[in-house]
Chains A and B, each alone.
Chain A
Amino acid sequence: MDALQLLVSGLANGCIYGLIALGFVLIYKATEAVNFAQGDMMMLGAFITLGLNNEAWLGLPFWLAVPLAIAVMAAIGYLLDALVLRRMFGQSQIAVVILTIALGFIARFIAGAIWGHEPQSLESPIAGMEVRVGGIVLGLDEVAVIVVTVVLTGVLYLFFSRTRLGLAMQATSQNQLAAYYMGIPVKRVHSLTWALAGAMAAIAGILFATKGAIDPNSGLLGIKAFAAAVIGGFGSLPGALLGGLIVGLVEPFSARYIAAGFSQIMPYLILLLILVFRPDGILAQVRQKKV
């Protein structure tokens, strides 16, 4: 059946949008800054994995390359906050936004300089493999994306509800001043949130490069993920995933059933409708901050 294959590939894309959107929301909730380089961090995470893993580069085993790349991206996220973003304290939101856009450009340039501008695929052990479910052929890569996202969602849920650090992150995002008084090192928590967003970006990038080709401009996908985060409700972690899934599902189905060209604009059409009729997103959590 055609629709089931569309569903699976839509869900798989949606998971990747959702994971990038999670990165947006994590950083926004913690620091009230929007990191427009989140998509480029995804691209960078993919290239670092590819550079470590592919035969043409370092040729490390896949299961070694993946945790290494995630750790490297987490470190990059941490250092970006500790060395760059922290200095923007007290500057206007727009200055931070422009800075993150600039960071995105830098990431694209660096990736292009190191790995070139030709699209490349990650040589993962599951590349090209297929699974049959009741007579339907599905790409193992797409199934893997969905499974990994589900597992990761569970881990994140446990992290935020059970661990001391996760609770400190939640507390910091709800009231920074009160968090200081509870003895939470707010600045370090901000940097660790960036580290987590970096790790999430790396995972999204690995999944993306497993099921398709990646080039330095792949990070522009972040714009769609941003739309997904707004649709889901900026400031809500479940909303980010939901928004990602909606955007992911809408694309293949509109490509299949509506006139050509519409699939490109459908996510933004939904974004527009959400902004008009439910401006805080589907799972709204953002409220007016008191002055």
Chain B
Amino acid sequence: MSLLELDNVTLAFGGVKAVDRVSFAVEEGEVFALVGPNGAGKSTIFNLISRFYSPQEGDIRFDGHSILDLAPEDIADLGIARTFQNVELFEQATVLQNLLVGRHRHRRTRLWQDILFTPFVRREEVRHRIAVEKVIEFLELEPYREKYIQGLPYGVRKMVEMGRALAMEPRLILLDEPASGLSVEETQDIAFWIEDMRKLMGITVVMVEHDMNLVRDVSDRVLALADGRVLAVGTPREVQTDPRVIEAYLGPEEDVA
């Protein structure tokens, strides 16, 4: 059984079909990339999986169960985490505090226990702190642990956001353009981390990315979209040499000539 399945999903805004009968399945442990020109519907698919949009047709299943009757806040509990193209962090908080909010879904203490700071709460705090420290070590965020988000360089903020997603201990992570705005070296780090996420942590990765080098380096399979429709699915090489994909990116051949 696939971990994530989109089955004939359609979403239209007014008359424009942002996502048009899209079907694909992501296997557990896979790195799956969505590519396509701007406006192809990649981020819309992320928003559909996150339940911020509801499809007019089709079904979305996670671990075999439809998620269409869930609210956006229930998605985290399934073990789905996400990062954003424009980085969505808690700006007036420290790196450590941001990662600790990522532990929200694992917190099981009750209000009165929190207020009395019972032994159970103390044990829980230690447990969450250890989990967060592991992530900090993994992403080499130690120098920034107590720094406030506002004022941190863009590259670090992207790492913090990825760290917050990892602190959730997700089964599936949705990365929205993890390499955008990063230097060549930083992008190489991302490639290593994505590999490790899959190998060491067993996390399935679905990413939207424009950097084709990164996509080629880390993805098992690639899905190319244009105008909300699936053009091709396959290995990075297969997709990159697909004539329909080349046409969508470069325009019809007569135009080039």
**Co-complex (A, B):** yes
Decide: B90 and A183 in contact? CB cutoff 8 A: no
Q: Is the CB of B115 within 8 A of A183?
A: no
- Which B residues touch A168, using CB under 8 A? 104
Residues of chain A with a CB closer than 8 A to B109's CB = 164
Given contacts A163-B111, A167-B101, whether A181 and B75 have CB atoms under 8 Å apart is: yes
Chain B neighbourhood of A285, CB < 8 A: 92
Stretch in contact with the other chain, from B32-40, B66-74, B213-221:
B66-74
Q: Are A165 and B111 neighbours in the complex by a CB distance under 8 Å?
A: yes
Instruction: Please determine whether B73 and A183 come into contact, CB atoms closer than 8 angstroms.
Output: yes
At the interface, yes or no: B53 with Cβ under 8 Å from chain A? no
Residues of B within 8 A of A185 (CB): 71, 73
Q: Is A182 an interface residue, CB under 8 A from the partner?
A: yes
Interface SS majority for chain A: helix
Closest Cβ–Cβ distance, residue A164 to chain B (whole Å): 5
Stretch of A36-44, A144-152, A172-180 lying at the B interface = A172-180
Cross-chain contact A164 with B104 (CB below 8 angstroms): yes
Among A162, A170, A183, A185: residue with most chain B CB under 10 A: A183
Q: List A contacts of B82 (CB < 8 A).
A: 181
The count of residues in chain B whose C-beta lies closer than 8 Å to any C-beta of chain A is 31
1/0 per residue A255-291: CB within 8 Å of B? 0000000000000000000000000000001000000
Q: Indicate with 1 or 0, residue by residue over B86-115, a CB within 8 angstroms of chain A CB atoms.
A: 001111110000001110110101010011
If A159-B115, A167-B101, A174-B90 touch, whether A182 touches B76 (CB-CB below 8 Å) is: yes
Q: Using Cβ atoms and an 8 Å threshold, which residues of chain A touch B89?
A: 175, 178
Q: Of the candidates A162, A163, A175, which one forms a contact with B90 in the assembled complex, judged by CB atoms under 8 Å apart?
A: A175
A174 to chain B: which residues have CB within 8 Å?
Answer: 90-93
CB of A199 within 8 A of chain B? Answer: no
Compute how far the CA of A71 lies from the CA of B92 in the bound complex, rounded to whole angstroms. 31
Residues of B within 8 Å of A184, CB to CB, are 73, 104
User: Is A171 an interface residue when CB atoms closer than 8 A count as contact?
Assistant: yes
Q: A131 at interface (Cβ–Cβ under 8 A)?
A: no
Judge if A247 is at the interface, Cβ distance under 8 Å: no
One of A163, A171, A181, A186 near B115 (C-beta < 8 A): A163
List residues of chain A with CB within 8 A of the CB of B104.
164, 167-168, 171, 182-184
What's the Cα separation between A183 and B92 when bound, in Å?
20
Contact assessment for A181 and B76 in the assembled complex, using a CB-CB cutoff below 8 Å: yes
A65 to B52, CA, bound (A): 44
B238 within 8 A of A: no
Is A110 an interface residue, CB under 8 A from the partner? no
Task: Give the distance to chain B from A278, nearest Cβ to Cβ, in Å.
Answer: 19
Please tell me if the beta carbons of A178 and B90 are within 8 angstroms of each other in the complex: yes
Interface pair B73/A180, CB less than 8 Å apart: yes
Whether A183 contacts B111 by the Cβ 8 Å rule is no
User: Residue A158 at the B interface, CB < 8 A?
Assistant: yes
Binary contact readout B102-144 vs A (1 if CB under 8 angstroms, 0 otherwise): 1011010101001101000000000000000000000000000
Across the interface, which residues of B come within 8 angstroms of A164, CB to CB? 104, 107, 109, 111, 114
Smallest beta-carbon distance A228→chain B, Å? 22
In the complex, the chain A residue whose C-beta lies closest to that of B86 is A290
User: Which residues of A from 184 to 207 have beta carbons under 8 Å from B?
Assistant: 184-186
CB of B74, distance to nearest CB on chain A (Å): 7
Q: Which residues of B contact A180 (CB under 8 A)?
A: 50, 52, 72-73
Contact B115 A158 (CB under 8 A): yes
Q: Are B105 and A183 in contact (CB under 8 A)?
A: yes
Report the minimal beta-carbon distance from A245 to chain B, rounded to whole angstroms.
Answer: 23
Tell me the A residues contacting B by CB distance below 8 Å: 158-159, 162-168, 170-171, 174-175, 177-186, 285
Binding site for A on B (CB under 8 A): 50, 52, 71-77, 81-82, 84, 88-93, 100-102, 104-105, 107, 109, 111, 114-115, 117, 164, 168
24 A–B contacts, CB within 8 A, in A order:
A158-B115, A159-B115, A162-B117, A164-B111, A165-B111, A166-B114, A167-B104, A170-B93, A171-B90, A171-B101, A174-B90, A175-B89, A177-B88, A178-B89, A181-B50, A181-B76, A181-B82, A182-B76, A182-B101, A182-B164, A183-B77, A183-B104, A185-B71, A186-B73
Q: Given contacts A164-B107, A167-B100, A181-B82, list 19 more A-B pairs with CB under 8 A.
A: A162-B115, A162-B117, A163-B114, A164-B114, A170-B93, A174-B91, A174-B92, A174-B93, A177-B88, A178-B88, A178-B90, A182-B76, A182-B102, A183-B76, A183-B104, A183-B105, A184-B73, A186-B73, A285-B92
